[in-house]
Structure 1
Amino acid sequence: MSGAAAPTGELRAPGLRRRLAAFVYEGVLLFGVLMISGYLFSSLTQQRHALIGRHGLQAFLFVVLGVYFVWFWTHGGQTVAMKAWHLRLVDAEGLAVSQRRALVRYLLSWLWFLPALALVYASGLRSVGTIFGVLLVGVLAYALASRLHPSRQFLHDTLCGTRLIDARAD
């Protein structure tokens, strides 16, 4: 798939609402993926308490998410949620994304959460509701920042040379 020709249609960026809807839908789908993966990890490691081995579990789930996204992005450019919302990931020229570029995008996509998480950590917040609120505001601010980009792309896409396009324009 990496040698596919560039699409002949215009590479339009989808609207922010559609991208955020796909983001939320992806979260719903990933809940199941992470539950099954967490169960597998705890079964294989004989984990009896959630706090024992939690760093290993977190690392395992980080890898599971990476495999999930890299595989889907390099095999058609769409996760299940992206298919449902007619979004496709391509490189800057409109070609299929390589594994390396998909991996870099996965790592950089954590920019959605890292500034808010750093703020939570630095401020010492402990209330779950407040933490959730800070994360929500951080994610929305990150999403709205895409409106400042000339082609309405997210920062992580700009940094790694990828872009989300409207798949209905294919």
Structure 2
Amino acid sequence: MSRAFKETYADIKIASPLKRLGAFVYDLMLVAALLMVSTGVLMTINGGEALDTSPYFAVYQSALFIIVYLFLSFFWMRNGQTLGMLAWRLRVQTSEGYRLNFTQSLIRYIVGIISLSAFGAGFLWMFINKQKMTWHDLASGTHVVELPKNARILE
């Protein structure tokens, strides 16, 4: 069951590709930092040895996959905004205007990885789609919207 946002706005519009790109780059830097810190912690647990030659390499990759998912889904489910989206006044919400649930966040994350893996074709789809939706928007039933300038950002 999806929860409604505390505040709704009458003048919400679909986010522009340029703003989405800005938020993506911002979040990419945060995720890179998170991965570096996580790798340091996991290397410490592994006795300081490199993890790429470890018999636990699959566990390491799985841990990083889960860590990034938990980081992004926390923000998507909490208030619909990652830190990058917050900076650009963007919000991800369901087609009905609600917060994402666990399943929608998971679908959005996995299809987002597929979108990137396909040389960004899933992201470029927003230039073909009339509603400016990417593959992960379509698969998860979500939209990225731009909040008005007078919007109260943190809920």
TM-score between the two structures when normalised by the length of structure 2: 0.85
Tell me which residue corresponds to 1:56.
59
Which sections of structure 1, spanning at least 5 residues, go unmatched? 116-137
Q: Is the 8 A contact 1:87 1:166 kept in 2?
A: yes
1:108 aligns with 2:111: yes
The amino acid across from 2:57 in the alignment is: R
Report the counterpart of residue 35 of structure 2 in structure 1.
Answer: 34
Aligned-pair CA distance for 1:55: 2.1
Report the counterpart of residue 23 of structure 1 in structure 2.
24
Matches within 5 A, 1:68-79: 68-79=71-82
**Paired residue for 2:122?**
142
Q: Does 1:159 align with 2:142?
A: no
Identify the structure with the greater helix proportion: 1
Instruction: Give aligned-pair identity as a percent.
Output: 23
Q: Secondary structure at the match of 2:45?
A: helix
| Structure 1 segments (4+ residues) deviating >4 Å | none
Q: Is the 8 A contact 1:26 1:81 kept in 2?
A: yes
CA spacing shift, 1:113–1:28, aligned 2, 3 Å:
same
> 1:32 corresponds to which letter in structure 2?
A
Secondary structure at the counterpart of residue 80 of structure 2 = coil
Q: Give the alignment partner of residue 99 of structure 2, picking from 96, 99, 113.
A: 96
Instruction: Flag structure 2 segments of 5+ consecutive residues without an equivalent.
Output: none
Corresponding residue pairs, total: 147
SS in 2 for 1:7: coil
Q: Distance in 2 between matches of 1:86 and 1:111?
A: 26
Give the secondary-structure state (helix, strand or coil) at the position aligned to 1:95. Answer: coil
Task: Give me the whole-angstrom Cα distance separating, in 2, the residues matched to 1:145 and 1:22.
Answer: 17
Name the CA shift for 1:56/1:48 in 2 (closer, same or farther; >3 Å). same
1:106-161, CA deviations, whole angstroms, 9 ceiling, x for partnerless residues? 1111122222xxxxxxxxxxxxxxxxxxxxxx22x433321111211111111110
Which deviates more, 98-107 or 57-66? 98-107
Taking the aligned partners of 2:13 and 2:57, their CA distance within structure 1 comes to: 42
Task: Give the structure-1-normalised TM-score.
Answer: 0.78
Tell me how far apart the structure 1 counterparts of residues 11 and 114 of structure 2 sit (CA, whole Å): 28
Question: How far off its partner does 1:5 sit?
Answer: 6.5
Please tell me the residue identity of whatever aligns with 1:157.
D
